Amino acid sequence: MSASVNALAAGLLFGLSLIVVIGAQNTYVLRQGLRREHVPTVVAICAASDAVLIAAGVGGAGLALDGRPMLLLAVRVAGALFLFGYGALAARRVLRASGLRADAAGAAASLPAVVATCLAFTWLNPAVYLDTVVLLGSVANSHPGVQWWFGGGAALGSLGWFLGLGYGARLLGPLFRRAAAGRVLDGSVAVVMVATGLRVLLVR
């Protein structure tokens, strides 16, 4: 295979290795997929945001972030507060013991609320900048001449992952319409959000 195809494949695998984890963003996409609420919008925002961040990393933006520790600190604090708040909301849903029904009266979130939440999960998470812009950008630029093919592969991996997560989640819909299963999911969401928030604050 040509060097560009090799770089594309390497970028796809490396991108998937970073994104296929139990994190705040993936948990939110899964929950929206189960509820079948604005799934195309959520998938589009996540995939497009990743593509922008990957392009920034390949373009060398990671060097600028390394020189602005106060900017990263501000994003770290804002992201942690957001994650703690969303975790508290998930914990409150556990007490209500309701299933995840997309057609439940009054349960659907508005499109602006979903857009704002999805953007926050992506752009207020410092780990996204460190993993995507700094780490992935550095690895991509270790492939001189084909670094943009590497970045393109990573972006394709991100798109495929979010499509599979968002639309594949509906296969679990019948299970999660039960109150007990919905409670387990929301409890897991609360734990993931708090753990991620603590990691954002404490890990240097």
For the chain, the first-to-last Cα distance in angstroms comes to: 39
Is the Cβ–Cβ distance between 8 and 152 less than 8 Å? yes
Helices 39-58 and 3-19 sit at what angle, rounded to 10 degrees? 120
pLDDT at 105: 39
pLDDT at 50: 92
Can you tell me the distance from the alpha carbon of 147 to that of 118, in angstroms, rounded to the nearest whole number?
A: 28
pTM higher than 0.75: no
pLDDT at 182: 66
pLDDT at 83: 75
Q: In a structure prediction context, what are the per-residue pLDDT tens digits for the chain, which is 204 residues long?
A: 588 888 888 888 888 877 876 677 888 898 899 888 899 999 999 999 999 999 998 887 766 666 667 766 776 787 778 778 877 877 887 776 555 544 443 457 789 999 999 998 888 877 777 778 877 888 888 888 898 999 999 999 999 999 998 998 888 767 666 667 667 777 877 887 788 778 767 755
Residue 184's nearest CA partner among 93, 116, 113 is 93
> For residue 26, how many C-alpha atoms fall within 13 Å in the half-sphere facing its CB?
18
DSSP-assigned letters across all residues of the chain: --HHHHHHHHHHHHHHHHHSS--HHHHHHHHHHHHTSSHHHHHHHHHHHHHHHHHHHHTTHHHHHHT-HHHHHHHHHHHHHHHHHHHHHHHHHHHHT----TT-TTTPPPHHHHHHHHHHHHHT-HHHIIIIIIIIHHHHTTSTT-HHHHHHHHHHHHHHHHHHHHHHGGGGHHHHTSHHHHHHHHHHHHHHHHHHHHHHHH--
